[in-house]
Amino acid sequence: MPQVSLTVNGKQHSVEVEGRTLLVELLREKLALTGTHVGCDTSQCGACVVHVNGMAVKSCTMLAMQAEGAKVTTIEGLAAADGTLHPMQEMFREHHALQCGFCTPGMVMTAIDLIQSHPQGITEEQIRDGLEGNLCRCTGYHNIVKAIAAAWPLMHGKTAQAAE
């Protein structure tokens, strides 16, 4: 079987995979990183979003072999070693932007990429448009949008007042 070498959450891995193995399968089944969820298997729900070389990717649509040499970050790789949450995770907690939690890892990973791609500021409309590929069946998105907006100044080193 072919091997894929990649860095996941800062740790180098070399894993044997079948050519048809999806990145989400490698993460969940070979590396036991089960925070990345499989929701729909059709790239519709966004529960499987991870970052590959800094960009949000639906890992159910990417073959593991395509991640050869890549740097992958999963939801497990966001918090600091001491347990301090990433600002986006903290804002999801603070703004009650989750209920069942199934969509949350993919939603957080998408939201981080979205905030990073808007360094000059972000509107509610841009947030809602940016979440289009992520489904949540519980929250109605209102608190998710609030959490993402609240994370923007934290991720860009600004105070909340400066961002308003």
60-117 pLDDT tens trace: 999 999 999 999 999 999 999 999 999 999 999 999 998 888 999 999 999 999 999 9
CATH code: domain of residue 150: 1.10.150.120
Same domain assignment for residues 42 and 96 = no
Number of domains in the chain: 2
| Model confidence at 139: pLDDT above 80 | no
Mean pLDDT score of the chain: 93
- Of 37, 53, 77, which closes a domain? 77
Widest CA span in the chain? 55
Per residue in 111-124, pLDDT (tens digit) is 999 999 999 999 99
pLDDT score, position 18: 95
Same domain assignment for residues 70 and 114 = no
Q: Is residue 82 part of a domain?
A: no
CATH code: domain of residue 61: 3.10.20.30
Q: How confident is the model at residue 37 (pLDDT cuts 50, 70, 90)?
A: very high
Same domain assignment for residues 10 and 62 = yes
Q: How confident is the model at residue 40 (pLDDT cuts 50, 70, 90)?
A: confident
**Nearest-5° Cα angle at 103, 101 to 105:** 85
- Of 77, 106, 124, which closes a domain? 77
Same domain assignment for residues 18 and 63 = yes
What residues contact residue 11 under an 8 Å CB cut-off, 6+ apart? none
Tokens (6 digits) for 55: 């960009």
Same domain assignment for residues 92 and 72 = no
Any idea what DSSP says for residue 73? Answer: E
pLDDT score, position 159: 62
